[in-house]
Amino acid sequence: MGKIVTKFGGSSLADAKQFQKVKSILELDSRRCYVVPSAPGRRFDGDDKVTDLLYRAHREQQNGQGFTATFARIRERYCEIAKELELEININEHLDEVQKDIAAGASADYCASRGEYLNGLLLADYLGFTFLDPKDFIFFNKDGTFNSERTNDALTALLKYTKKAVIPGFYGSLEEEIHTFSRGGSDISGAIVARAAKAEMYENWTDVSGFLMADPRIVPDAKAISNVTYRELRELSYMGASVLHEDSVFPVHRAGIPTNIRNTNKPQDPGTYISHTMPEDDNPDVITGVAGKLGFSVISVEKAMMNVEHGFGRRVLQAIEENGLSFEHMPTGIDTMCVVVVTADLEPVRENVIKRIVELTEPDTITIHDDMGIIATVGRGMVHNPGTAARLFSALSQAHVNVRMIDQGSSELSILVGVDSGDFQNAIRAIYYEFVKA
Ligand code: ASP
């Protein structure tokens, strides 16, 4: 029988009622054998996530302020769940130990990781599953990067003998110390477990029914995306990040495992299904989604005959690299080269970047245009639908949007446009309604 790895986010496990929903979801399909929990999240608007409380307790301890009150709130969250579900585990003993460790000066990563650790203990007890501590098989390298192969070998071996397990998300070990992924990293843990288990599906249960085709704050009636490929999702990363941690895509993508984003509060919704390939004609809207982000600057370097000058592009990029910047996009013309960077990163090194580009390339002109938004219109169906670009640009012109930059990736999966921030929302709406009919 195939296996399904399920990851449940913080809001899916925020209190005893949510635990009960999780249990009934697992009982619906016996292939759901490995469960990766986050720490308890917010129960209502204005509530605190346990992870935030743990970071706060750590800070208070470091500043010598005392963390007793904060820790009492953390304790209450876990004890309430244990009591309401009538669990056998003595969670207070585990909480005592964590409190002692924080008082003894444990690291921020250790403190934060206890959110998932303690929730995992409760969930394993509630479900009757084996508890596996990721410190024993999720490994980080000395430089803090994730050691995927060592982890995969250790975890594959372990899962062979473990039929049903709860594996807390978010952390592993770096040598003898506990180390965490970046915030939201339980998504990554879930993907790692899915790969090691050779799962047929990675289900990521959260509090939304998958991705929408556009940001609902800009397009209030945005439709849900039912199918998307991993490559499209990557192109849509501006919008995906709030639903799924970007780094969680890699392990499952590489292992050929599809991901299904599901809603714990509406388990009947099919959610968004992410996989490698889809039939190209399954998408009636031509586009899969439109996503954008503000806060970019475009550095344009112009020089006549730049196209025949050896190493011109390399020298521009050298100036960018020397100043510790990475670039988002790089559209080029015959005599111009543009490099799109994040304005906040450029700000402290702006003068140096200009100086260095001038030194290295002796351009005719160099200009920096700030306050730009980049909008990615993405769709696997675009390749097979001639005229997509024409429709997109005429929709923008009808909406009086001034397009500052165009970049069509060679993947033909997306068309990127740069617009002034004042035109940003208008542009997204114009593109969306051009392609998606209500
Ligand atoms: N609990 C951690 C966080 O709040 C990790 C996660 O939930 O994925 O960032």
What is the domain-level CATH number for residue 301?
3.30.2130.10
Does residue 15 sit in the same domain as residue 104? yes
pLDDT band at 285 (very low <50, low <70, confident <90, very high): confident
Does residue 163 sit in the same domain as residue 188? yes
Number of domains in the chain: 2
CB within 8 Å of 240: residues ≥ 6 apart: 211, 233, 246, 291
Name the percent of the chain in helix, strand, coil, to the closest 5.
45, 20, 35
Look at phi and psi of residue 245 and say left if phi exceeds 0, alpha if psi is from -120 to 50, else beta.
Answer: beta
Closest residue by Cα to residue 16 from 169, 167, 119, 111: 119
> Does the C-beta of 10 come closer than 6 Å to ligand 1?
yes
Q: Does residue 308 register a pLDDT over 90? A: no
> Does the C-beta of 17 come closer than 6 Å to ligand 1?
no
Q: What is the pLDDT of residues 129-151, one digit of tens each?
A: 999 999 999 999 999 999 999 99
- Domain membership of residue 234 (yes or no) is no
Q: 155, 193 in Cβ contact below 8 A?
A: yes
Nearest residue (CA) to ligand 1, atom 5 = 184
Nearest residue (CA) to ligand 1, atom 2 = 184
Does residue 266 sit in the same domain as residue 192? yes
* Mean pLDDT of the 299-317 span: 93
Task: Copy the structure tokens of residue 177.
Answer: 């110390």
pLDDT band at 245 (very low <50, low <70, confident <90, very high): confident
> Does the C-beta of 39 come closer than 6 Å to ligand 1?
yes
Q: 178, 114 in Cβ contact below 8 A?
A: no
| Host H or E run for residue 86 | none
> Does the C-beta of 61 come closer than 6 Å to ligand 1?
no
Q: What is the mean pLDDT of the chain?
A: 93
> Does the C-beta of 169 come closer than 6 Å to ligand 1?
yes
Q: Does residue 202 register a pLDDT over 60? A: yes
pLDDT band at 180 (very low <50, low <70, confident <90, very high): very high
Q: What is the pLDDT of residues 381-395, one digit of tens each?
A: 887 778 888 999 999
Does residue 344 sit in the same domain as residue 376? yes
Pick the atom of ligand 1 nearest to 184's CA.
8
Does residue 322 sit in the same domain as residue 249? no
| pLDDT for residue 240 | 58
- Domain membership of residue 227 (yes or no) is no
Does residue 270 sit in the same domain as residue 294? no
| Host H or E run for residue 354 | helix 350-361
Does residue 20 sit in the same domain as residue 168? yes
* Mean pLDDT of the 14-25 span: 98
Pick the atom of ligand 1 nearest to 115's CA.
1
Does residue 356 sit in the same domain as residue 252? no
Q: Does residue 281 register a pLDDT over 80? A: no
| pLDDT for residue 283 | 64
CATH (domain of 144): 3.40.1160.10
Pick the atom of ligand 1 nearest to 183's CA.
9
| pLDDT for residue 375 | 94
- Domain membership of residue 12 (yes or no) is yes
* Mean pLDDT of the 32-59 span: 98
CA 323/CA 345 separation, integer angstroms: 10
CA 299/CA 288 separation, integer angstroms: 30
CA 202/CA 186 separation, integer angstroms: 13
Q: Which of the residue ranges 174-183, 268-277, 302-311, 412-421 has the most confident prediction, judged by mean pLDDT? A: 174-183
- Domain membership of residue 406 (yes or no) is yes
Percent of the chain clearing pLDDT 70 (strictly above): 97
> Does the C-beta of 185 come closer than 6 Å to ligand 1?
yes
Taking the centre of ligand 1 as the mean of its atom positions, its distance from the CA of residue 40, in whole angstroms, is: 9
DSSP state of 332: B
Taking the centre of ligand 1 as the mean of its atom positions, its distance from the CA of residue 171, in whole angstroms, is: 10
pTM: 0.87
* Domain hosting residue 326, numbered range: 289-435
